[in-house]
Structure 1
């Protein structure tokens, strides 16, 4: 599959690995893929992100991701499901942080030492890369570009897709941004 990646898409994957290394993460996640996309400035995905989530709104997007990490990566749908069982996620996070410190539920991602060899990709990150292939095939594109990775991030669910959607970056809006408006 990676032989079908464009230079831009390969740079995104490489950038995601670099973000994981800087974060001290044990694995490359779908959030690292988004961060690597946000670093780009000369590609179809970069242009779409610039149009849909201008640089002035990026701190809000990054804050939404950080807040989700604080909640152990649980999405609003997860929080609603827990609420249906009578569990207040906000109260649970507050209690855990009171006992164990701020960001305690985001733990487990840091690697205290050097991680030998290559960092593995998380299940979610692998799912995004596989979905990017599906998106490219559905669009009848011969190569997988960074725009396909961005489109895949909007469809795989979870905190990244949720944060993107909250900032106006949906499959439909990205598709329009990278393809141009449909002909009448």
Structure 2
């Protein structure tokens, strides 16, 4: 499949790894593909997102918030007190987690795809795990790349370009990506139609 990718699309896949590293994530997901695409605001498909007001900085903020599970900010004093009344002491939870998994264990964003398989708490990454090696694409990112191929076939294009990557991201059922798009004010179906219309006008 990758032999059909344009230079820009291949570069996007490479840049997705850079985006993941900059966010200190240990996986490459659809969110990183989106951020990598937005590095080329004038590229086919991406230009539509740009025209609709989606910027790289806004997308980065949305990704950070969604991956961290932030739906409005940290727990306030009222929330903490309510949990304490139920016998849940957040300071004690943090102390025990850090005793078991290392200092800052709860500060590292959870790999949501791995988290489903291994449970909420996983061992802390060792220094060798944090090296410059290859970051894995999680299943939802692989699916988005497969969907980009389907989009290219549907449009009868002989290549897979940035426009097809954008369409693949908009077409998927990835909940994390939907959360990011929602924060950006993007309705996938409507934006997908806009992308296709822009591509037809440019043809």
TM-score (norm 2): 0.64
Give the drift of 1:105.
7.2
129, 146, 159: which one aligns with 2:176: 159
Name the CA shift for 1:11/1:70 in 2 (closer, same or farther; >3 Å): same
Query: What is the CA–CA distance in structure 1 between the aligned matches of 2:199 and 2:11, rounded to whole Å?
Result: 27
CA distance in 1, matches of 2:126, 2:169: 25
CA pair 27-52 structure 1, distance change in 2 beyond 3 A: same
Give the C-alpha shift of residue 13 in structure 1.
Answer: 0.5
Q: Deviations over 1:122-145 (max 9, x none)?
A: 111111101111111122221111
Distance apart, 1:170 and its partner CA: 1.9
8 Å CA contact retained: 1:69, 1:105: no
CA displacement at 1:28 relative to structure 2: 1.5
Tell which structure's C-alpha radius of gyration is larger: 2
Show structure 2 runs of 5+ residues with no match.
72-88, 98-103, 113-124
Aligned length: 161
| 1:69 and 2:86 matched | no
2-structure distance, mates of 1:11, 1:182: 24
Which of 163, 170, 186 matches 1:168?
A: 186
Deviation at 1:6, TM superposition (A): 1.1
Deviations 1:68-112 (A, max 9, x none): 21229x9xxxxxxxxxxxxxxxxxxx9599736796472358774
- Cα deviation digits, residues 127-182 of structure 1 (max 9, x gap): 11011111111222211111111111112131213322452252442342343398
1:147 corresponds to 2:163:
yes
Residues 164-173 or 136-145, more deviating = 164-173
Q: Which runs of 5+ in 1 are unaligned?
A: 75-93
Q: Which residue of 2 aligns with 1:81?
A: none
Regions of 4+ moved over 4 Å: 94-98, 100-105, 108-112
TM-score norm. by structure 1 comes to 0.70
2:139 corresponds in structure 1 to: 123
**Could you tell me which residue of structure 1 aligns to residue 21 of structure 2?**
21
Moved more, 153-162 or 100-109: 100-109
Q: Following the alignment from structure 2 to structure 1, what is the Cα–Cα distance between the partners of residues 15 and 126? A: 19
1: CA distance, partners of 2:178 / 2:132:
28
Secondary structure of the structure 2 residue equivalent to 1:106: coil
Instruction: Note if contact 1:97-1:103 (Cα within 8 Å) is conserved in structure 2.
Output: no
Q: Structure 1 residues 105-114 or 125-134, which shifts more?
A: 105-114
* Cα contact 1:6–1:144 (8 A) shared by 2: yes
